[in-house]
Amino acid sequence: MIHTAFITHQNCFKHDMGEFHPEAPERLAAINDRLIAAGLMQYLDCRDAPVASRKQLERVHSEHHVERIFSSAPQRGIVHLDPDTAMNPNTLSAALVAAGAVVMAVDLVMRGQTKNAFCGVRPPGHHAEHDRPMGFCFFNNIAVGAAHAMEQYGLERIAILDFDVHHGNGTEDIFKNDERVLFCSTFQHPFYPYQGADTVSDHIINIPLSAGSGGAEFREAIATRCLPAFDAFQPQLVMISAGFDAHREDPLAHLRLVEADYAWVTAEMVALAERHCEGRMVSTLEGGYNTDALGRSVTEHLRVLMGL
């Protein structure tokens, strides 16, 4: 059995929100190129993502939200749902396989077909709320996968770490009343989406970081606030919203992480999963807008998942 599944789909390359938009198809191309150059692609279980069903989407989104995304899909040109979030004729199909990838990843790890999985998909998902698309996101991919795990496999404890530079407001919104999910988000603050710093919850751990914070501050936050809570929770599945836009080379933010920090946090999550759930882990791509830094960071993330 190959250790790690890599799930993607060609439709994810076809979603384009317009010239100069940072959430661009080149992001996935950079990841693929770097994995090939590093000689890792041949050791991954590469799979095409399926389409998420409306039933799977509506476990975490309102029927109104899902219908809005379907009905907004244009026949030509670009339609904006907000100033940052736009659809072209291929966006709906890309969003459906992005969510479907996480469902497939959950199935693979829960059935023991692979130990862990990474979903190299776009559009990202962690800003999509129960009833609102925003921040480049249409469906909340990680939430769709977590809800599938609870519904299909009866899981009662899922730990989700979101280390994107932006707060995972959509994931918090969806699971704010569901104690089966322990959610931890590290993020630059104050910064888009200007939420999360004031949350008070037993199962949501928000860790704001000041602009300019680097690996030392990030690692201390994970080690002192996230990991002890996750260990006490004893998750049956570990999930990661893997945004790489806290990298010091990213043009959209002001944290200063490097590849070694992403390798470190991935190793901590792998160890957590080994302690509590036989290594079962699902990771999915969120942000990361310097394509060179993104390719390098995802490669290190995958090296650790693969046990290399």
Task: Give phi and psi for 90, each to the nearest 5.
Answer: -105, 0
Give residue-wise pLDDT tens across range 191-223: 999 999 999 999 999 999 999 999 999 999 999
pLDDT of residue 23: 98
Residue with tokens 């960071």: 297
Checking if the pLDDT of 70 tops 90, the result is yes
Checking if the pLDDT of 1 tops 80, the result is no
- Residue 140's CATH number: 3.40.800.20
Checking if the pLDDT of 257 tops 90, the result is yes
What lies within 8 Å, CB to CB, of 111 at 6+ separation is none
Rounded Cα distance between 204 and 40, Å, is 35
Give residue-wise pLDDT tens across range 6-40: 999 999 999 999 999 999 999 999 999 999 999 99
**Residue 165: which domain range?**
4-305
Rounded Cα distance between 52 and 125, Å, is 13
Find the mean pLDDT for residues 250-275: 98
Is 127 part of the annotated catalytic residue set? yes
Number of domains in the chain: 1
Rounded Cα distance between 120 and 40, Å, is 14
Query: CB–CB of 237/109 below 8 Å?
Result: yes
Checking if the pLDDT of 2 tops 90, the result is no
Of 9, 61, 65, 127, catalytic: 127
**pTM of the predicted model as reported, rounded to 2 decimal places:** 0.98
Query: CB–CB of 102/147 below 8 Å?
Result: no
Checking if the pLDDT of 44 tops 90, the result is yes
pLDDT of residue 22: 98
